Amino acid sequence: MVRPLVNVFIGTVIGSALCSAIAVQEVTWVTQTLNIRYAQAVLMFLIAGAVYLVLSLGGAAIGGAIERAVSPGGRDRSRASKALDVTAGAQA
């Protein structure tokens, strides 16, 4: 259940850029406003892209941590599966 919720969160974060079309103050709207003021479009939109990237990757990392914490077996199961993958790769 955690992965679909994380996907919805990431979709909401990325979809929030559409709100700038109706003048809602969010990252893209602020970026457009700063671009008008300082005329540094490339720099401003690179920073905005980095903000979206950090929010998306941060949400995915937190979702992964929550999923490991609530999964049956917790952290022990994830370590065992990683060890199994390593030995399976060595045998091939």
Sequential DSSP letters for 16-28: GGGGGGGT--SHH
What the block records as the tokens of 58 is 């941060």
Alpha-carbon gap, residue 77 to 92, rounded angstroms: 23
Per-residue confidence (pLDDT) for residue 43, from 0 to 100: 87
pTM over 0.75: no
Q: Which residues contact 10 (CB under 8 A, 6 or more apart)?
A: 56, 59, 60
Residue 83 confidence (pLDDT) above 70: no
- CA terminus-to-terminus distance, the chain: 34
- Tens-digit pLDDT profile for residues 28-71: 778 888 888 888 888 888 888 888 888 888 888 888 888 888 87
